[in-house]
Structure 1
Amino acid sequence: MNLLFLPALAFDKKWIVLGQSIWTRGIMFLMRTICGLKVEIRGQEYIPKGAGLIAAKHQSAFETMVFHALLKDPAMVLKKELLSIPIYGWYCKKTEMIAVDRNGHAAALKAMIKQAQDALSNDRPIVIFPEGTRSALDSDLPYQPGIAALYSKLDTPVTPMALNTGVFWPRKQFVCKPGTIIIEFLPPIPAGLKRKDFMAQLKETIEPKTKELVEEGRKAHLS
């Protein structure tokens, strides 16, 4: 797929967006047919139809892919270093992903907000992983300031997302376990809350639901 769509880099980005969607659906098909790993999406009524902000739990590589099948032209917040990866980085640049310099502090946050504003103005949903990295099962990582900055500056509701992908496709592991990945979108947190209140509500929404889904996944896998 990477090689097939290389010529599309010379044309409108819609062709790369199409390629991302085909690639993701192909990955999901292979997961299902080869690994016995299915995907269940809950709370689909909460998925933004266009511009919006999604704060997603991040436990595996799957979250970097699945949004290309669930959303139309998502703008993913990712670390700037990924743009340096040959071919993959070219596609990220072409599709205008939101690249963040994690060592850039205030200037990096300002640049991220500008890119996010541009994405919303083009009716694109934004996806950010509040922890900033993949988390191990049962870990309790702090939520980074990037999500708080986007929430306050964009003045838009945030849709939390919980999941149990780490049960079946653990971080830093290649092999997938059979079962059913559950991804659940939760009711949006309205705009306008104070920063501290928003961060507390976001974590208190995502983390308990994630633990619930992880336990559900573990029980199903053992049975």
Structure 2
Amino acid sequence: MNQPESGLRRGEPGERYDIVTIASSAGGIRALTQVLGGLPADFPVPVLVVQHLDRRHETVIAQVLGRRSVLKVKLAEANERATPGTVYVAPPNRHLLVGAGGELTLTSTELVHFVRPSADLLFESAAGAYGSRAIACVLTGTGSDGAMGVSAVKSRGGTVIAEDPESAEFNGMPVAAVGTGSVDFVLPLVEIAAVIRGLVEARRS
């Protein structure tokens, strides 16, 4: 398994993070609750989430996560603009993408690696729109969704975090992400929120 870089990377003068993207699948509700619950109410950037959900049913994921987070949590809507301190969750059976300035797009294009929404598409769109100002985080889940996306984020100078496969409830997605060699931090679930907070706040100090 490739080893991540040790320690926080320093951004260039004037650079900062402007978007956090998170992906999870099996075991993801518990993991998302842990991460989102560790972010403060005045978190200065939007958070976009892809959690693989049953495509056949409506979901209450926003309400569930919102009860454990001081951030506003909602299902993403087409053509809305992502704002700081809000968590936008991809609706069931819709890909979520983000453009320059935080414009959100929902699409029903074909499945990617058998899933919709796709972490790869979200990460790739964030990489294209935000470059080095993007953070991508891969949490517990089966399969390999997110691996191509984290490579895109890394190639544009962004920062990639993966839950430690050794402690993840389901390690398929973290293993695939780490295997790309594009992950900057491999962390136990309980440490991820603090590192995201530290990265975002350091570039604003």
Instruction: Please report the TM-score for the alignment, with normalisation by the length of structure 1.
Output: 0.35
Instruction: Please report the TM-score for the alignment, with normalisation by the length of structure 2.
Output: 0.38
Higher helix share: 1
Which of 1 and 2 has greater Rg?
1
